[in-house]
Structure 1
Amino acid sequence: MALRVVSSLLVGLLLLHTWGAWADVQVNMEDKVEVVLGETAQITCMFTSDDGIGAMIIQWFYVTRSSEKVRIYYQDTTTNIVDRGTPFTDRISMNGSIAAGEMVLTIRNVVLEDELEIICLVKSLTDGTAEGRTKLRVFEAPNLPTIEAVQTGLSVSDEEPSKIGTCEVKNGYPKPNVTWYRNNTPLRSIAAELSVVSSTTTESSGLYSVKSQLNMKVVKEDKDAEFYCEVTYFVPGATRMTETSRINVTVYYPHDAVNIWVESPVGKIKEGDKLKVHCEGNGNSPSSVFTITHANSGSSWDTNMLELFNVSRLNKGVYECESFDPEFIVDSPVTHNTSVFVHYLDAAVVKPEETMQVQQGEQLQATCNALSSLQTNTVWFKDGEGVSNGHSLIINNVTFDTSGIYECVVTVPEIDGMSTSSTLNVNVAGPPQIMEKDSDIETSDKSVQLECHARGYPAPEMEWTTSDGKVTKTTPTETEGGFHSVFTVQVSSNITAVCQASNKYGSDAVTFNIKAKSNGVIIAVIIICILLLAILGAVLYFLYKKGKICGRSGKQDLTKGKSSKDNIVVEMKSDNTEEAILLGVNGEKQPPNDQ
């Protein structure tokens, strides 16, 4: 802190803020004291005198804005008085002592109006007088600054500078300073090109708010520029800085180049695809109009995105994009073009067409071709299995197994899903062949259903002949493997049935020998069995009556109850006397009346 000294010893020299009255009193004070709004300020007054400092009068004053001196404090060796009715009356106090040669004025709760010049006046007993002056400076840091960009687009064709945005910083003291930047470069006013308009508002609190507006003629490069504000403000003993966030503005400018390309499909285009052609310029303008023109057909569309569905080879050719903007004047239209080729694959053509006939044992020859803009691959299929590769189908020594439907599939290997197909129905001509063999059938049924399968071309006629002289023609059913005929034979005795298939090339037959099983034999066997059972029953009954079975004699009373001893009687006959000896369970002879 700079100290200014006023001394009566320095004749003719006045130092700033320190006055002497050719006395022997010296007063030293700080040039300035800085304090934050609302805090406490301390102002020191140091003094000396050649007469000593025992009896001195100290008075404190402030200088009004109209340069008047108003006392706020008085002190001598016996008295100290705070003057009433001043802005400082209730907020000041004094520390230190005259004897020490140092007095400190304390001002509490500093307000903006305290930013004044404070005077310390010292008077000695010999009327030597001197004073010192200190400027009290008050500071308040502002709120964080804000920035707001213009919401509308700015055109490079505007003749006057356009508003870019506004910065505002509020409630600072002293007044903050605002500086605009573009991409880290400070901006200065340029006549007819750039201007910064600032306004300052003194709030009711006495603090300052500053609003700054940037106006500028934009160019194309400003579309990517970043604008922001730097705010410089003061605090006790220092200068500080803060920045706003960064903003961009929308800049409208004309196209000086356009580009057109096929957005989809990616890669080669084939018939049936959805074609999307996109046109885009390097400018930026809401009034721009794009036109896409197809040179081959002369068709045009006012759009920057052309969509064509189910395209064909007629859609190939050059597509040109042109940009027009009524807001900007250009010397010539801005155009660009691209070429589109639509690949195609025509329907497969099989020769001979649809159906062909070939003699059994001969060679089958057929071709399949499809016109395409790209290389193709051909495969022949029969019943879902590949039978030949290439455009030609050749089969030697054909048989009936060769007959059927052949599918020719033509694909384009370079493009997935690009394929076509056609079919060929092959008939192998020859005499019929019956699939069944001669067979013998035994049955006891009254009727038998016979089946006969034949193949051949042309379709054979099928008839059934039985050994009893009956001839029956049937209408065969065509199957996947040939022809099928069903015939029902009535069976009352042995009979023979012949199935014959014939066409103009020959015939084939199969014989079924049916043997009838008689039902009378079974009936006879059943009767014999019944008779045998009847005879057996009679014999058993006779033996029973004669006592030959069941452990009883024929004379035994069947109704007689068992004896109390439960005797078992056994009849025994001698070979010589035929005399029956009856023995009891204990081997005792029984009397005859027990028989």
Structure 2
Amino acid sequence: MDVRLSASLLAGIVLLFHGFTAWAMVEVSMEDRVEVFKGDTAQITCMFTSDDGIGALTIQWFYVLRTGEKQKIYYQDATMQVVDRGTPFTDRIMVNVTAATGEVVLTIADVQIKDQLEFICLVKSLTDGVSEGRTRLLVFERPDFPTIEGVQTGISVHEDTLSKIGSCEVKNGFPKPNITWYRNNAPLRVSDVVKVMPSTTTESSGLFSVSSELSLKVTKEDKDAQFYCEVTYLVPGGTRMTETSRINITVYYPSTAVHVWVESPKGKIKEGDSITFNCHGNGNSPSSVYVIRHEDNEYGLESNMVVLKNVTRLQSGLYECISTDMETFEDLSGNTTVFVNYLDHAVVLPTNMEVAQGEELTATCNALSSLQTHTAWFKDGREVLVGHTLTMKDATFDTAGTYKCVVTVPEIDGMETMANLRVHVKGAPKIIKPEQTDLEESVANMVDLTCHVRGFPAPSVIWTTRDGKVLETTSQTETEDGVQSVVSVEVTSEDLTAFCNASNEYGADALAFNIKAIVHTTAAAITTSTSTSTNRSSTLSSSTVVHATAAATTTRTSTFSASTVQAATAIPPKKIRKESSGVIIAVIIICILLLAILGSVLYFLYKKGKICGRSGKQDLTKEKSSKDNIVVEMKSDNTEDAILLGVNGEKLPPSNQ
């Protein structure tokens, strides 16, 4: 009974408290709209106020179907948060609640066109009642760049009906983009002479593609008009605009005058040029035919142009362009005058000259031209004289060669002619000495010797050696002032002298080439071998000389001397590199050190009685024997005879062996 009474009292208190606070209602406020690009994330905020804590609230989210019905997508109370399954938003939404600020945020990921719906936030309190707010989610998509296409055929001003000018198209926008036509920066409004036909296509993605076609009554002024489209579309928070490229249309209208002119070349015309004539009427009618006449010649035009190739001075004169309207057969004409400049071939007199050394030569060069000319003489690419007459005194071999006369017209670039003069200077041969006639080459190498001889008539060249042997010429070429002869010789172990002998009817000349042969040799190092298995052997004999003094029996003096073996090397005939000599000396020193160490070891073993059956305690008073010497026998690589050297390096007689 006590428990029931307590529960009843508690319920009464709650009802009483609820009665005092019933006037306070939960309130919800939301934005009218939320705008977002397709593919982005949308956040819809629901603001609420309530005297109850968050644990006493129930929060629900709905979206409104096309039919007007509500579809729940989210539920939350004090014990759970549930995202409804089987809705288009099941896997794409998330709800965050901030109790301190009274804020509920619905986040929708990867927004699509079909998500453009109305969303409802419903908040229910245990004591404050129920309140809801609504927000419209607006989705936007920028359209592709608009395109424009004009008509490819011309439009006549005489057309009785409106003519199609072009069409514009913009694809994949949301909401639907808008297209406006412009002519020369001015918008075109629909009227009796202007017609615009729009059309809209809804793609499977829900996006809109819009096209528009423009037709109007064409006038002559439209020939230079620029037409384009302006596309406007909505984005979150505003409007954007983009424009297409400009197009022109071809307008046909009759001519009232004809003009003809030389399109190329610009400036003065010369023989050999190609002349391009351009002929135009001030109208634009496809029925007009153009021809150009010059004296008795008539040339048909293609695309209002005609080209005369490789013109000559005979094609100078008056040229007339005639336009004929094939509908009315009326003619219109215009004319222009052409002058073709010319430059005849240069004439050099004489073309070939032979002068003796010390004589004077004179030649002339002329070319007939319609314009002022400039004449210059060149030799070996260098200008030697300016003027029509070439005069040179005291001719030498340097005078010989080919002279080029170049005649140009300064007023016209590329207008020039040229002719050659060949000059021969008669005289005895003279050999041009090269920088080096004394050569050093390795044996067996081939050496090319070149002999450049001046003289005219062209000298005869013969190669010989010091002993009169004739060498076979490798090649011989005539030059501007003589000949150039080449011979190839092989270097032998002996020095060689080759003579270049040149002669003609006026004299002779000779030049010697000295070739010094270089023989390359390799110094061989002698290697001492202690192996008994080789064919080379060395015999080591040694003896000790011991002297005892009378003053002390404990003091012993022993004298040990060993002979050294010197390595013999082959002496090169001419040259020995310093590096090779250094290596040989180093090898000899190492051999001497090794022999000294070997002698010391043998002496030590001898004193200890380890070799030759001797005891380490030999009588130190034994007289020195002249034959108790260390003897070393060495056999070289090139002989089998042994050389015996004494202690002091003296060669021992055979009896001591």
Normalization by structure 2: what TM-score?
0.42
Normalization by structure 1: what TM-score?
0.45
**Which one has the largest radius of gyration?**
1
